[in-house]
């Protein structure tokens, strides 16, 4: 049955000399593979349908092969190019990190609508000047629950107390109070920063508020996320290496 679907292009691969296969994040079907014939030929309308970080509407046919979950694009139209965002390679790098997280971390289709809406809103926000670095941190925080490794963020992860919360611990998987803190672990997130992390963790991705935060406040959050993902995600983010050299 033909399928008419809007999606965000995450990644593209060459297939032969002229064709491409793209990974597309959709609201209803999660990440799907789409074969785009003649996408590499210059001046074809289809070449726009294989550019990562583009939102497009695809008219698709399922594969004739029953064992293949690949779709064939017989036509399509770009909904949003995100040209402002793509002018800045740092912005692009932050979004490539989000894309890698979707491809490696979103195994369960039940989250596809949520992740699709989030990525779409973040692309729209970045296109209108919202800080991509901050968006990438919020995205990484939000993906923790999607991957199934959400930290304990409302009370001490060990004793469940709410008094004297000292830090957000990688080792102990969430907030820890002064009594439960193990000194072998360095403090990345100190007490004054905890309300900010919690606010970002709980932010409404459908309605992003204006936030002014110094980069030096965000750096420890990034370090925490790097360490937390390393400890629990079960995969490595290749784009991180590039971002760390920015």
Can you give the binding site for Zn ion, defined by CB under 5 A? 156, 158-159, 161, 177, 180
Minimum distance from CB of 178 to Zn ion (Å)? 8
Q: How far is CA 120 from CA 11, 64, 84, 95, 152, in A?
A: 15, 31, 15, 11, 27
Minimum distance from CB of 128 to Zn ion (Å)? 42
Residue 59: what are its φ and ψ, rounded to 5°?
-105, 115
Q: Which is nearer to Zn ion, 160 or 202 (CB)?
A: 160
| SS3 state at 103 | helix
Residue with tokens 């729209």: 124
- Is the C-alpha dihedral spanning 48, 52, 53, 59 positive or negative? positive
Q: Are 81 and 48 in contact (CB under 8 A)?
A: yes
Minimum distance from CB of 194 to Zn ion (Å)? 14
Minimum distance from CB of 220 to Zn ion (Å)? 21
Q: Which is nearer to Zn ion, 52 or 161 (CB)?
A: 161
Q: Which is nearer to Zn ion, 119 or 165 (CB)?
A: 165
Minimum distance from CB of 99 to Zn ion (Å)? 37
Two structure tokens written together for 246: 């920015």
Minimum distance from CB of 168 to Zn ion (Å)? 13
Q: Are 33 and 23 in contact (CB under 8 A)?
A: yes
Q: Which is nearer to Zn ion, 68 or 164 (CB)?
A: 164
Q: Which is nearer to Zn ion, 161 or 220 (CB)?
A: 161
Q: Which is nearer to Zn ion, 7 or 151 (CB)?
A: 151
User: Contacts from 90-96 at CB under 8 Å and sequence distance 24+?
Assistant: 90/132, 90/133, 90/246, 91/126, 91/132, 92/53, 93/239, 93/242, 93/243, 93/246, 94/132, 94/133, 94/135, 94/136, 94/243, 95/53, 95/122, 95/123, 95/126, 95/132, 95/136, 96/52, 96/239, 96/242
Q: Which is nearer to Zn ion, 79 or 159 (CB)?
A: 159
Minimum distance from CB of 158 to Zn ion (Å)? 5
């Amino acid at each position: 049955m033909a399928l008419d679907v809007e999606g965000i292009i995450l990644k593209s691969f060459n297939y032969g000399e002229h064709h491409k296969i793209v990974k597309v994040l959709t609201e209803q079907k999660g990440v799907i593979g789409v074969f785009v014939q003649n996408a590499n030929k210059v001046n074809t309308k289809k070449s726009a349908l294989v550019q990562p970080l583009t939102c497009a509407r695809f008219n698709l046919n399922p594969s004739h092969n029953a064992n293949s979950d690949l779709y064939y694009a017989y036509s399509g139209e770009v909904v949003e190019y995100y040209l402002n965002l793509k002018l800045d390679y740092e912005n692009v790098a932050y979004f490539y990190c989000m894309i890698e997280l979707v491809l490696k971390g979103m195994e369960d289709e039940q989250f596809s609508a949520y992740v699709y809406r989030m990525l779409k809103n973040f692309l729209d926000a970045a296109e209108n000047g919202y800080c991509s670095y901050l968006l990438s941190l919020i995205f990484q925080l939000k993906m923790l629950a999607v991957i199934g490794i959400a930290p304990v963020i409302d009370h001490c992860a060990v004793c469940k107390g709410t008094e004297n919360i000292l830090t957000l611990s990688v080792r102990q998987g969430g907030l820890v109070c002064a009594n439960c803190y193990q000194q072998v672990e360095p403090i990345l997130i100190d007490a004054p920063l905890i309300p900010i992390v919690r606010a970002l963790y709980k932010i409404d991705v459908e309605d992003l508020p204006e936030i002014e935060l110094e980069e030096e406040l965000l750096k420890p959050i990034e370090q925490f996320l790097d360490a937390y993902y390393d400890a629990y995600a079960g995969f490595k983010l290749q784009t991180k290496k590039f971002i760390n050299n920015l």
